[in-house]
Amino acid sequence: MAALAVGAAGCGGSDNNTSSTSAGAASCDRADLKLVNGRKLTVGTDNPAFPPWFGGAEKAPWKVSDPRSGEGFESAVAYAVALRLGINKPEVEWVVVPFNTSFAPGPKKFDFDINEISFTPARAKVVDFSDSYYNVNQAIVVKKGTKIAGATSIADLKPYKLGVQIGTTSYQFIKDNIKPSQQPAVYDTNDAAVAALKNGQTDALVVDLPTAFYVTAVQVPNSKILGQFESTTGEHFGMVFAKGNPLVKCVNQALAGLKADGTLQRIQDRWLSKVVAAPVLK
């Protein structure tokens, strides 16, 4: 039995990586990058891949659009970052990572996950976040012609049944800032939240502004963006890495470069420009 115990303890944590990190600066040269799949960069995101974050024609296994197309804000950012690291488009692989598994303990099957994940200090204790690649505003979607469509301030929203998707900071935003009198409804998927809005089971849907644009443009035809909320906490999206992954530093360098020479702004203008015009609710 002692042998069993020793064997089991020994089997667990063998490191596949034989090269040791030198004490001090870990280089961000292409050859020195420690990637999950040695030669290729593995990027994770959830399924379906919704516009404007992803674009291109739908291709299995992803639904709605295709992260591999390079179209869509997050796809474009991922490829731009990869290029800065010296990794070309054909060397980038995408894997489906359901949101719930992106922060599961244990080794990750991706180098980073890009999936509209907001940075919070609590989350940063479990995973590593890259710097911001997009500053988020929450927005509220309503059906045209309903009572809530006449609301003009945050206080006007109190009596209504609001809906959110789980895992988004929208829920916390509702609880902290709107404080509705009815318990908000929380859905596992974007589709369920949208179906509830269509059915009238919820009066409004609170999502980030770009997703709100997609909801009103495509998913719920007779809806509109009632307004957006000012970000009180400086909410931003970051890429998710395994805790302690040295790649974060290199990705942050890449992001800094993209911001400095205006590439990130160009990408944002190309894919997210239409969503800027929504009134701010106070």
Partner 1 sequence: MSGGEGRRSAVIAVVSTVVFFTVLGVLITHAPGWPEVRRTFFDWGQFKDSLPEIARAFLLNVKIFCIAEVFILVFALVLAVIRSLQGPAALPLRLLGIAYADFFRGVPTILVIAMLGFGAPALQLKGVPLSTTFWGIVALVLVYTAYVSEVYRAGIESVHHSQAAAARSLGLTHWQSLRAVVLPQAVRRVIPPLLNDFIGLQKDTALVGFLGSVEAFKQSQIDAAATFNYTSYVAAAVLFVALTIPLARFTDWLVLRDRRRRQATGT
Q: Any idea how long the chain is?
A: 282
CA distances from 37 to 15, 128, 254 (A): 14, 19, 20
Binding to partner 1 (CB under 8 A): which residues in 184-213? 184-188, 192-193, 195-196, 198-202
Here the tokens at position 15 are 């490191």
The answer to whether residue 127 forms part of the interface with partner 1 (CB under 8 A) is yes
CB of 227 to partner 1, least distance (A): 23
Here the tokens at position 186 are 């929380």
Give the bridge partners for 240, in sequence order: 113, 129
d(CA 249, CA 187) in angstroms, rounded, equals 34
| CA within 13 Å, CB half, 248 | 17
**How many residues of this chain interact with partner 1, rule: CB under 8 A?**
40
Among 51, 163, 227, 238, binds partner 1 (CB under 8 A): 163
3-state SS assignment for residue 240: strand
Binding to partner 1 (CB under 8 A): which residues in 1-20? 1, 4-5, 8-9, 12-13
Among 39, 125, 145, 234, binds partner 1 (CB under 8 A): 125
- Give the x-and-dash track for 62-101 against partner 1 (CB under 8 A): -------------------------------------xx-
Tell how strand 185-187 and strand 162-165 pair up: parallel
The smaller minimum CB distance to partner 1, of residues 149 and 166, is found at 166
Distance of CA 257 to the CA centre of its chain: 21
Among 90, 105, 145, 234, binds partner 1 (CB under 8 A): 105
Among 34, 40, 109, 123, binds partner 1 (CB under 8 A): 123
d(CA 114, CA 105) in angstroms, rounded, equals 18
Contact footprint for partner 1 (CB under 8 A): 1, 4-5, 8-9, 12-13, 99-100, 103-106, 120, 122-123, 125-127, 163, 166-167, 169, 171-172, 183-188, 192-193, 195-196, 198-202
